[in-house]
Each structure stands twice: as C-alpha cells, then as structure tokens.
Copies of this chain bind each other. A is one copy, B any other.
C-alpha cells in the first residue's frame, strides 16, 4: 500500500477547517474508521466478488449495524465510488513501484510496468474486476470522477516508459497504416495531460499496447486462459517483450547519426 493512501481517498463529508492543520483526535478516529470500512469492503469483495458488495455485509463483518455506515458514506454508491477510486490508485501505485524497482539498466522498465500491472491484477482479481469488469448493478459512476486522475497517472507512466527518449518527429513518423484525417484530428484534440501531447500515430500505438497488455491480463484474471495454468507469467512476459520490440522497430531512428534510446531485451 502506498504511504500517501491514508486520507487521499477519504470522503469526509465536511472538509476539515484547515487542510494542512494537524488532525484532531476525532478526525483521526474518523479517518481510521473510514479506512476500516474500506478494508472490510475490500475483504468482502475479495471473498464474494465485486457484485455481492452490500452495506449490510460490510457492517456485519465490522460488528456494527448498517445505519452506522451512513455516518461515513451517504449511500452505497459513495462507498462503491471510494472503492473504485482506491483500486485505480493502488493499481497505479503498483505499476509505479514496479517501474521504480528496476535497478539494472539492461532491463526494460516498460516490461516491468506491464508486469506490475499484471501482478496487481492477479493478486487482486476481484478488485481488478471491480474497475475493469461489468459495472455494478444500479451503480451510476460519477462522470469525470477522481478515477480519471488515477487513469491518467498510469497512462503517463506507460507513455514515459514506452516512448521516453524518442522525439516527437520520430513518433510522428512511426511506421503504421495511415490514420484518417478525422481520427488524426480527434487524437490531436486530446487533453495534454491525457495523451494529447503525443503525435497521433503514437497515441494509436499506445492504445494498441494498452489493449494488448490489458487483454492478456483480463483473460487470465477472468479465468479464460486457465489451460496454460501456472505459466501465464512467462507467456505474458514474452508477449510484452515481443510487443515492445515490434513497436520500437516501427519507430525510425532520430534525425542525424545517433540513435535515440532503443528497446532493450
């Protein structure tokens, strides 16, 4: 778990008077209670799957009555939103940690990021389902919620590790089928903190890579590749290495003589 996690996802109803002031005893207890509720909910999801989540079950496992939960979350939907937000955050944390853990410069940080993604998903299959599976019954996700932020955080990591060291010119000249003018235009209109700072071909490539990584993990987590059993990590690693090499082969060397940072085995 991330050190920054406590409090970051806490939906305290009225914001504390001074944001940076030290928390009072009551506030600390409240925050602890919120964490306890989230943990119990995650545990329940881990046992019964995301679609069995209910306030009553969470309350039961905490040894309290349901009504008490309403002091912390105005409704079930708000609890679900907090859980989804936290799952996105934890996943992004896991990816970041995996990237940071690469000491050997001969190893690919991009593959490490993908493996971090997979490892979190496999370790937390039900929470992965919570964010990437079918939406929960009756749950209406808040539009433009805080989840967007975690998603962007993660896509920024992948953008950096996949394209770091390459110039815009190189990326724009990537050897992929031509994009239609309408698509180019749409991709250029993306927000800069999304993928908008990349030239359109690079956006297409990163979406494709994201799909590739995500698809392999999804199939595994949802049990569709159980026939390869214990070797899914190896298949995943090979696929990601191959993907990375194929992507970099399609990106031309930088102008001039010197090549930019190239894919590593």
Contacts and interface: CB of A to CB of B under 8 A. Distances in A.
Interface of A: 48-52, 126, 129-130, 132-138, 151, 176-177, 179-180, 182-183, 186-187, 190, 194, 204, 207-208, 210-219, 222, 224-225, 227-231, 234-235, 238-239, 241-243, 246, 250
A239 to B, nearest CB: 4
A132 B218 contact: yes
A133 B130 CA distance: 10
15 contacts: A50-B134, A52-B138, A130-B134, A135-B222, A176-B242, A177-B241, A180-B234, A207-B235, A207-B239, A211-B215, A211-B216, A215-B216, A218-B218, A242-B250, A246-B246
Nearest to A176: B242
B51 A176 contact: no
Task: Count chain B CB atoms within 10 A of each CB in A52, A176, A194, A242 and give the residue with the most.
Answer: A242
A132 to B, nearest CB: 6
A177 B215 contact: no
Contact of A215 (B137, B204, B215, B250): B215
B176 A238 contact: yes
Contacts of A138: 52
A235 B210 contact: no
Contact of A211 (B183, B219, B231): B219
Contacts of A229: 186
B134 A222 contact: yes
A179 B214 CA distance: 22
B219 A214 contact: yes
Contacts of A215: 210-218
B234 A183 contact: yes
